[in-house]
Structure 1
């Protein structure tokens, strides 16, 4: 896929970069408390669907507190009006929290976090190097935040994280039943055929990882397990969600490798089919196959150099592949491939990614509601995505 390069688009990009580069300052309230945030724009290009959109993506505000004993973090996000939320009238019509937790450090190697925090499962903090994230995100395993308590302990080369989560993230403001940062079990909106109405409760998760040297590779190997209750609001009966994963991450000089295999098995007590469970997030809901295997592979390369008189730095090149192989015979495998680069340009952080997907709800116009269940167009689709952010 070639990149459009019209003069009109170049001038638009330049104007937005200048806007994002306007002076901004983080506020250090005390020696322990910092307030900050980001303003991000996005550029979407899909010639097959005649899409070329460039506009404001996200505004978020954040706070971090760190002391010898007490810690905490909060982040709140705003979306709307611009693509893909052009159906809303005003910016901020979609908004939700990503994080809101407080913690206590017993010592430098032990802590507990309580509130809306990240569920410790698999490769951390994300399942690869990409900005767009993998299919693990949309099936509810990657970058998931829930409300509960998490214990973290580092002992030598071993890292243990265990959590109990009473409920998923609180719903924010939007037009859907899925208005959260995380993709999680949700009630279905009216446009989701064969949708279900479940809510996840009492999630228990354990992640154990060990650092080791494999030849010249600094590596981590780990295993994760998760189980939770799926409360069905139509039948009043409870089902279960279980997931396990094994992962490896390694670093040798500029090269990085991340690998993961996971199994997710949900047994909902739906009024209709038990082969699908509705998930939601980012102001939308969609069906996901209740049983399947997730595979992730990520290769990255860091370039330790500066360019353009030192304005460009921190360049990373990466390739990521993820697949969700569903257990139901008639359901088509979902696949996502991302080729990209991220770097800093003066005070901006930029990620540019070529997204290639098959039965992927977010790539190329395949069915949003059914791609992760029975399947969508079942053909390879592609589009270009860029995110430009000014973080303060």
Structure 2
């Protein structure tokens, strides 16, 4: 995968886009007048962390989390979906979470072009809590990249095919590193994600017990800004989800491999990944396993209509034997009261950058002397 392959892929992408919009669709959903819907959310957060002595003495901290605005627009079978988020400056400030233009061929087939969700693993989420599961911190849950995706939703099978030119690009210099100011984790530093292909198939079965059994695969390049060579990355995921009588179970296993073409003397066993304005190190090759379940209980407690109790667990098995593995477990409840949704979580982590570690290398080398740390968190959001 050299420079000429990138040019060819760009030409193929343009041709595919043109053909896609020239194919006549089924206009069962067509409307003559454009429709626009605007929504959003405002969230606040309280947290108390076991590894922050000053915070413990204060009894925790309560502050601003995020404000977002959502746009949905449609004209005939062409539609728009976009979400912009504004975090504090320390967490990257403002950035586009997702944004694409779509086209519906019929009631089962559509295409999305732009910053859309990568079809890999359980979706929309591999978790129930505010922190997500461990998969999120490596760009493997609710990830969004720049490309084109075809979706088919049938009664028995669903499948997605996608091509991503790169992660969301905010800097367009020839040798400019990818910015870490983003919602979902991507490779940053001296390597850049390029020309990624994704495929996903889900088999659905059962009536009173609904089952979704699927497999996902992805393969792409890692362009190194120093060597001007393109390495590779690939992933394979097996996933299963069950819904039964207000219970939800999610089970997933992933195999992830990265082969960057770094300068001589630089380790290829570690990558830099970034989001929310800050990069950190991640092991290049690992397996990751997760198990999540929840139980929803309808209630009538003033404005509260539902309580969803859950536990989400993740385990990162790093392939380099000298690296220390990482763990994460979140136990909590989601409280629904009209437009207000409140997550009450107890999140625990071992060699986890966001849960008590030294942040920089917990997901790569790790620390054999690390101990489990925890954060009690309450996130309150009004969604409109």
TM-score range normalised by the length of the shorter chain: 0.7 to 0.9
Cα contact 1:317–1:341 (8 A) shared by 2: yes
Matches of 2:288 and 2:79, distance apart in 1: 34
TM norm structure 1: 0.83
Tell me the residue number matched to 2:26.
none
Matches within 5 A, 1:146-157: 146-157=145-156
How far is the alpha carbon of 1:130 from its aligned partner? 1.7
CA contact (8 A) 1:78 1:95 kept: yes
Which of 222, 230, 242 in structure 1 is aligned with 2:234?
242
SS of equivalent residue, structure 2 residue 382: strand
TM-score (norm. length: structure 2): 0.85
1:129 equivalent in structure 2: 128
Partners of 2:319 and 2:130 in 1: how far apart? 28
**Whole-Å separation in 1 of the counterparts to 2:111 and 2:298:** 36
Query: How far has the Cα of 1:67 moved from its partner?
Result: 5.4
Corresponding residue number in structure 2 for 1:200: 193
Greater Cα offset, 57-66 or 141-150 = 57-66
The alignment partner of 2:300 has SS state of: coil
Q: How far does residue 347 in structure 1 lie from its aligned partner after superposition?
A: 3.1
Work out the CA distance in 1 between the residues paired with 2:246 and 2:34: 34
CA distance, structure 2, for counterparts of residue 367 and residue 48 of structure 1: 10
Q: Which runs of 5+ in 2 are unaligned?
A: 1-32, 172-177
Q: Is the CA contact (8 Å cut-off) linking 1:331 and 1:373 kept in structure 2?
A: yes
1:44 corresponds in structure 2 to 47
SS at match of 1:136: helix
Matches within 5 A, 1:148-227: 148-171=147-170, 177-187=179-189, 197-213=190-206, 217-227=209-219
CA RMSD of aligned residues (A): 1.7
Question: Does residue 1:63 correspond to 2:82, yes or no?
Answer: no
- Counterpart of 1:267 in structure 2 is 259
State the 4+ residue runs in structure 1 displaced beyond 6 angstroms.
none
CA distance in 2, matches of 1:307, 1:64: 33
- Which of 276, 300, 303 aligns to 1:306? It is 300
Kindly indicate whether residue 29 of structure 2 is the aligned counterpart of residue 33 of structure 1: no
Aligned to 1:23: none
| Preserved contact between residue 177 and residue 284 of structure 1 (Cα < 8 Å) | no
1:115 equivalent in structure 2? 114
Q: C-alpha offsets along residues 180-203 of structure 1, whole Å, 9 cap, x if unaligned?
A: 11100001xxxxxxxxx1000111
